[in-house]
Amino acid sequence: MNSFIICWNVIKRLLQQKLSFGFLVIFPVLAGLFVVLMMGKAGGTKQILAVSNLDKGAIGGELIQFLDNSNMFKIINIDDNSIEKKVESNEYPCGIILPENFTASIAVKEDTLVRIVEYSPSAAGQQAKEMINMYLDGVYSGESVKMDISSVEDKMSPISDQTRSYLGFLLIMVMMFMGTGIGMILEDKKEKTFMRIFAAPVREYEMILGNVLASFILGLLQVTLYITVTTLLFKVDWGTSLINVIIISLVYLISAVGISIGMAGFITDNQKYSIINLISIVPVSILGGCFFSAKWFPDSIQKVANFIPQMWAMDAFEKLASGNEFSSIWMNLMVLVLFGIVFFTFGVKTLRVGNEDL
């Protein structure tokens, strides 16, 4: 019973904090709106690729034809130098610029630079890089260029860039909000609030359970609100059923609670904890595939990504979006739960009361 009272008090305190209330209510709407402004409307199965060919030579034209023949892109030819502005204004998600000396440089086997223009990382940009490198390798070797897009197709995600961004912001929001909740616990220890709580007949496990339960309930509210807002207002196609999205998000929530508590076990100052939590989440989420598939990273980076919970959550979404049964993601869900358990074990001492807290 005491755990529920503590849980309710923690919830009320978190909702009274401006930062926590912003992450819980305001940020879901702003994040959805930001994705719409950043990504625009979702396109079809082909990636839109704007091309500015300043070279006008034979090889430049052959490269564009090579990209077009792959059936992976919808090529938009732009004759002037406005491609950067068009990409920046979100008219096109990605573009490439062939320099004036492109054909001449390749003829003398000099390194040449094909510029990839992106406002934000995109699947189109990664696929274009792979295909351009494939073409140039064949040209430099003097052999006929063979189109083998199997290696590129293996890295292609069944989730659109827009949907991936929505999912990525969901995972980031959950982790940030969990950080604010645990930061409040560190502040309570610093301000000797624990001393007043334990003046009452409260057991240690009731204190721990109350705080963890509050974080999970508010995280569930945040996930539900975000999914509801983005689905109803922005008409998001999640690539799978809403039930699957909610289940994966809830399991990821367990992982986020455990990781937040685990971090607090190593960083005992609440201000340092909040700063490190905020500045580390986005880079880690990028490595975890929240904005483009982790399969595009080098093998060494992919090995590191295996230790990031966001990667396992995004991989679960991709498997279901590919048409696999829900049973295909049981390993992903198990790993996410293990993340939470392991980090919670390391950080649970933060929620325990020592002599210095009384």
Residue extents of the structural domains in the chain: 2-39+160-357, 47-155
Region of poorest pLDDT, from 126-140, 155-169, 239-253, 323-337: 155-169
Edge-first strand order for the sheet with 94-98 is 73-77, 47-53, 94-98, 115-118
User: Would you give the end-to-end CA distance of the chain in angstroms?
Assistant: 23
**Are the beta carbons of 3 and 215 closer than 8 angstroms?**
no
Q: Alpha-carbon distance 322 to 316, whole Å?
A: 10
Is residue 41's pLDDT more than 50?
A: no
Q: Which CATH class is domain 47-155?
A: alpha beta
Give 47's strand partners. 73
pTM of the model: 0.68
**Are the beta carbons of 244 and 328 closer than 8 angstroms?**
no
User: In this predicted model, what pLDDT tens digit does every residue of 72-110 receive, in sequence order?
Assistant: 778 888 876 778 888 777 777 788 888 887 777 776 666
What mean pLDDT do residues 310-334 have? 87
Closest residue by Cα to residue 10 from 201, 183, 214, 198: 214
Q: Coil, strand, or helix at residue 241?
A: coil
Is residue 168's pLDDT more than 50?
A: yes
pLDDT at 157: 56
pLDDT at 266: 73
Is residue 250's pLDDT more than 80?
A: yes
Query: Residue 288: enclosing H or E segment and its boundaries?
Result: none
253-278: burial string, b at 16+ Cβ within 10 Å, e else: bbbbbbbbbbbbbebeebeebbeebe
Concatenating the DSSP letter of every residue in 99-141 gives: -TTHHHHHHTT----PEEEESS--HHHHHHHHHHHHHHHHHHH
User: In this predicted model, what pLDDT tens digit does every residue of 204-248 receive, in sequence order?
Assistant: 667 777 777 888 888 888 888 888 888 887 777 787 888 888 899
Q: Alpha-carbon distance 281 to 28, whole Å?
A: 17
